Amino acid sequence: MNGDGDRGQPGHWGVMRPGVAEAGLGGTLAATRLDAEQQAEIKRLQSIGYTGGSLPDRGSDTGTTVHLRGATAPNLRLYVSGHAPGADLIDPDGRVLHRWRCTYAEARAAGPAAPDAFLDDREGVTACWRRARLLPDGDLLAVFEGHALVRLDRDSRPRWSYPGHCHHDLDVGPDGVIHVLTREARVVPRFHPRKPVLLDYITHLAPDGHELGRLDILACFENSPFASHLDNAGESGDIFHTNTIELLDGSHADRVPAFAAGNFLVSVRELGVVAVIDPAQEAVVWALSGLWLGQHQPTLLPDGNLLVFDNKGHDGRSKVVEIDPTTQRVVWEFADGPDTPFYSATCGTGQRLANGNTLITESDNGRVLEVTTDGAVVWEFRNPERTGENGRYIAAIMEMEALPDVAPPAWLAAGSGANASIR
């Protein structure tokens, strides 16, 4: 489907002109003029983001507080904290080995010069990054929630930025193409005749940052046997809240054909759905729901099972669950308990490590755990940073990710001027 105005790639929305919304889906598109109230609500929706922290500082120990050597994976870990627009690379002892920093103003300066290319930061949500992805050469991709994507070199110099209302997550293909979640606020009559909603997209960028095309997630549901999930959408606001994207490599397509190479695994929080999108068909080809509430970060494991951070579960508590996608049976979980209180209303991630342990980011509490298959905590990291007035809040950890290789990357060993003092 293409909208009026600038034409997008076949099968994708075109670029919306200011003050115009797409009124109608399913093959019939008409442009309608928005009034001032609708335009103000669209600006508000497009600026939605995260605070840097929400839980009060309790004066607990910080940094690496548990480290059972021999049981802990030796991999370096990259994390994004709510106190600053940056990311730190640490070793399991908590030592900072490398640091990237880039403000929203610096990112804007590296992007298109058009005055309206970037959103203004009205709510202060660009004070931190939402997600960062480390590239093999030490470059880093970072998401300013709802605003932009920036690519930095290893010394934090911006190479380029993309002002596409990027949010939550991204992945990078073996060809270097970047796939990032983006969004736009529009009036969609199937949800409400006047109230705007946030629509989510998968946008494809070349390694140099120019846009190659995008997939409309709403259209992908509409074009599929899973369109009934849209009946659970709200009538206005952030009706999807897609928070995860993972490019599948096809290693489990023999088990579930929908898990073919090039398809995308996504989490649509407000629909309670984990789904797979086939970009060739522009359709959802697999979906699962009812096993979680407010979920984040589904990922396919080497054995073909699905690991999901279940924020609120059916008992209102957080847990990380491993599910067999063919039987929907829970084969492993880590949950809140008397010895391991565990809850994050927002964000949260789980990563299965090569040693069989699971690295879990309890975002709101600024805490990361590495746990064994029997649930023993062998590593714990508590964010030493604080945010808010007078540092009253624990800075959230949006995500911590262990690097795939045990050996430090070659670019780190080679050194860099901006981080020499940290090493």
Is 417 or 328 the better-scoring residue by pLDDT? 328
pLDDT per residue over 251-305, tens digit each?
999 999 999 999 999 999 999 999 999 999 999 999 999 999 999 999 999 999 9
Is 322 or 119 the better-scoring residue by pLDDT? 322
DSSP 8-class letter at 45: H
Any idea where the domains of the chain sit in the sequence? Answer: 20-54+98-343
The whole-chain average pLDDT of the chain stands at: 88
Structure tokens at 262: 């090039």
Q: What are phi and psi of 131, to 5 degrees?
A: -155, 150
Q: What are phi and psi of 204, to 5 degrees?
A: -105, 125
How are beta strands 273-278 and 349-352 bridged, if at all? unpaired
CA dist 400 and 384 (Å) reads: 14
The pLDDT value recorded for residue 157 is: 98
What is the average pLDDT across 179-183?
A: 98
Q: How confident is the model at residue 6 (pLDDT cuts 50, 70, 90)?
A: very low
Buried/exposed 179-188: b ≥16 CB within 10 Å, e otherwise: bbbbbbbbbb
CA dist list (Å): 323 to 251, 255, 335:
17, 14, 14
The pLDDT value recorded for residue 330 is: 97
What is the average pLDDT across 387-396?
A: 91
pLDDT per residue over 230-249, tens digit each?
999 999 999 999 999 999 99
Q: How confident is the model at residue 416 (pLDDT cuts 50, 70, 90)?
A: low
Q: Does the pLDDT value for residue 325 go beyond 90?
A: yes
Q: Does the pLDDT value for residue 136 go beyond 60?
A: yes
Q: Does the pLDDT value for residue 141 go beyond 60?
A: yes
The pLDDT value recorded for residue 114 is: 78
What is the average pLDDT across 201-229?
A: 98
Is it true that domain 20-54+98-343 has CATH number 2.40.128.630?
yes
Q: Does the pLDDT value for residue 421 go beyond 50?
A: no
Q: How confident is the model at residue 132 (pLDDT cuts 50, 70, 90)?
A: very high
CA dist 311 and 103 (Å) reads: 29
